[in-house]
Amino acid sequence: MIGAARWTLLISISGIAIAIVLGTFICAARIGASKPLRMLSGLYISAFRGVPLLVQLLLFFYLLPRIGLDLPALHAAILAVGMCAAAYVAEILRSALQSIPSGQTEAAEALGISPFALWRRILIPQALRLGLPSLINELILLVKVSSLASVVGIGELTRVSQNIAGQTYRPLEIYLTAALIYFVINFVLAQLGRYAERRLAVD
């Protein structure tokens, strides 16, 4: 079960990595100058937030091979989880970005700093710091929803627990242990998040 917990962590951490990268772009599109891009990113956010992740997982699992993308189930699951979380991350970053004084952007523009450097050096670092508590929250949610990947047959913690419970007829003990492992992972992540928050605090 401990080995399977590593898969849970793998799905969660690669999921959040995809979510942060993709979420940043979606967020940039959402608040950018181009109207079609704004509408597209709005649609993306609405669609991924409005559909249960389990349905998204199943859809990805069956749709990707159909459109010629033959990914292993694990990769499809990570992609689904990451793309769903990206919608939430985009909203977290948007609220964080909107709390950065617009004077900073104006000053950077006045100084002739390129938009790319503005994002990379000024906006994103601050948004990540402001959004850190919510991002940690999202990561903890991801650890929990990674259990859904068991439905498409990925041998993460929940799936392995199901197998063991099925073989030993001791569901109570097995699922309690699984719950405890999830709890410990999330507890550790929450503590790490708090530590990172303290380290990144400006004052």
Partner 1 sequence: MEFDLFIQYGPALLKGFGVTLLCWIVGSFGGALLGFVIACLMRWSAAPVRWILSAYVELIRGTPFMIQLFLLYYGGPYLGLVLSPVQAGIVSFVVYGSPYFAEIFRSGFQAIPKGQIEAARAIGIREFTILRRIMLPQMLVLITAPLTNFVIILSKETAILSVVTVPELLFETQTMAAETFTYVEPFLVLSLFYWLLVVVTAELGRRIEIRSTRHLKRTASST
**Could you say which of 2, 33, 36, 50 contacts partner 1 (CB under 8 A)?**
50
The amino acid sitting at 73 is A
49 lies in the binding site for partner 1 (CB under 8 A): yes
- Does residue 6 touch partner 1 according to CB under 8 A? no
Residue 169 region by backbone torsions, left for phi larger than 0, else alpha for psi between -120 and 50, else beta: left
Q: Specify the residue, 55 or 107, whose C-beta has the smaller distance to partner 1.
A: 55
> Which C-beta is closer to partner 1: that of 119 or that of 175?
175
CA–CA gap between residue 26 and residue 68 (Å, rounded): 25
x-marked contacts with partner 1 along 103-142 as a string, rule CB under 8 A: -------------------------------------x--
What H or E segment, with its residue span, contains residue 132? helix 124-145
Query: Toward partner 1, which CB reaches closer, 18 or 140?
Result: 140
Q: How far is CA 9 from CA 20, 97, 145, 197, in A?
A: 16, 28, 11, 21
If we measure between CA atoms, which residue out of 154, 100, 24 comes closest to residue 145?
154
Binding stretches for partner 1 (CB under 8 A): 46-47, 49-56, 58-59, 62-63, 66, 140, 143-148, 150-151, 158, 161-162, 165, 170-172, 175-176, 178-179, 182-183, 186-187
